[in-house]
Amino acid sequence: MAIDLDAIRNRLDSLQTKVTKTDNLWKPKPGKQQVRIVPYTHNESNPFIELFFHYGFGGKNLLSPQTFGEADPLVEFANQLKATGDRNDWNLSKQLTPKMRTYVPVLVRGEESEGVKFWGFGKTVYQELLSVIADPDYGDITDSMNGRDIKIERQTPAEAGNQYGKTTVRVSPKQTSITEDSTALKAMLDGQMDITELYTEPSYDDLKEALSNFLNPSDDSSESSTTTVTTNTSTTKPVAETVSNTADAFDNLFNS
C-alpha cells in the first residue's frame, strides 16, 4: 500500500500551525455585539463546555482534572481541610477549590470569516442561556437554520459601578439561519477545534508538587510567616502555625 502523502502533509501542517488562545477565544468588548451559538462538533448533543480552573495558583491558571472526572490533589486536600471545622482551614480550602467557567462555540456576527471562537462566561450568563433554551417558546437556539442570535451588551466597571463590569444577554425573538450558503456553513462548523486543545491538563503529580510548593513556600516568602491572619471572629492565628498545620496535613494525606 502506497503512503498517503496528503495525510502526511495535513498532519505536518497541523503540527506547524501554532494554536493560540487569543485566536480562538472571544470575549465581548464594551458596547453591543451579536453572536450566534453554533453546534459543538465535538459534542453535538450539548454546546456548553464546563471547565474547572484553579485561578492564580502559583501565578498560573491551571485546568483541574475534575473537568474530566479525574482525581485532583488540590480538591482532595480542600475536602480534608473543610472536614476540620476550623475557619482558617475552610478559607484555605476555598482557595484550593476549582472554579467553573463555561464556554460555547460562537460565530461573531460581522466577523464570520474568522471562524468559530469560544466565548467563556460565568454562572449568571450560563443560567440565563439555559433558562431560555429550556423555555419551549425558544428551544434550540443553536439550530443552524432556525436558531436565534444573542445580543450582548458589555459595560465597563465604571459604567456598571462595580469591580468587574457587567454583561447583559438577550436572545433574539427572531429565528434566522446562520448563513444561506450551505458550503460556507459546513466549512465554518467543520473548522472548529476541540477546546481542550487550548488548555493543557496538568498531571496529578504536577498538581501535587504545586500544592506542596504552595504549602511550603521558599525562604523568599518567609517574612510573611510572622504576620497574623484575622478572621471575622475574634480569633487570630499566626500564618506560620496555619502553614505548618496544613503542611503536616498534606504529608499525612499524600506521603503517609
CATH of the domain at 145: 3.90.198.10
23-74: pLDDT as tens digits: 899 999 999 999 999 999 999 899 999 999 999 887 889 999 999 999 999 9
Q: What is the pTM of this model?
A: 0.76
Interhelix angle 73-82/239-254, nearest 10 degrees = 120
Q: Which domain holds residue 128?
A: 22-194
Query: In this structure, are 60 and 186 located in the same domain?
Result: yes
Q: What is the arithmetic mean of pLDDT over 128-147? A: 93
Between 163 and 238, name the one with better pLDDT: 163
Q: Which three cell numbers stand for residue 54?
A: 484553579
User: CB-side exposure of 192: number of CA atoms within 13 Å?
Assistant: 26
31, 171 in Cβ contact below 8 A?
no
SS3 for 169-201 is EEECCCCECCCCCHHHHHHHHHCCCCHHHHCCC
Pairing type for strands 150-155 and 31-37 reads antiparallel
Neighbours of 48 (CB within 10 A): 16
Those residues whose C-beta lies under 8 Å from the C-beta of residue 160, and which sit 6 or more positions away, are 166
Q: What is the pLDDT of residue 23?
A: 82
77-99: pLDDT as tens digits: 999 999 998 999 999 999 999 99
Q: Domain end: 194, 217, 234, which one?
A: 194
Q: What is the arithmetic mean of pLDDT over 169-183? A: 93
Q: What is the pLDDT of residue 217?
A: 78
Query: In this structure, are 68 and 184 located in the same domain?
Result: yes
C-alpha to C-alpha distance for 56 and 201, rounded to whole angstroms: 15
Between 201 and 7, name the one with better pLDDT: 201
59, 198 in Cβ contact below 8 A?
no
The average confidence (pLDDT) of the chain is 83
Query: In this structure, are 150 and 93 located in the same domain?
Result: yes
Between 66 and 185, name the one with better pLDDT: 66
74, 54 in Cβ contact below 8 A?
yes
Q: What is the arithmetic mean of pLDDT over 169-190? A: 91
Query: Total structural domains in the chain?
Result: 2
* 204 in any annotated domain: no
Residue indicated by cell numbers 504529608: 251
Query: In this structure, are 247 and 175 located in the same domain?
Result: no
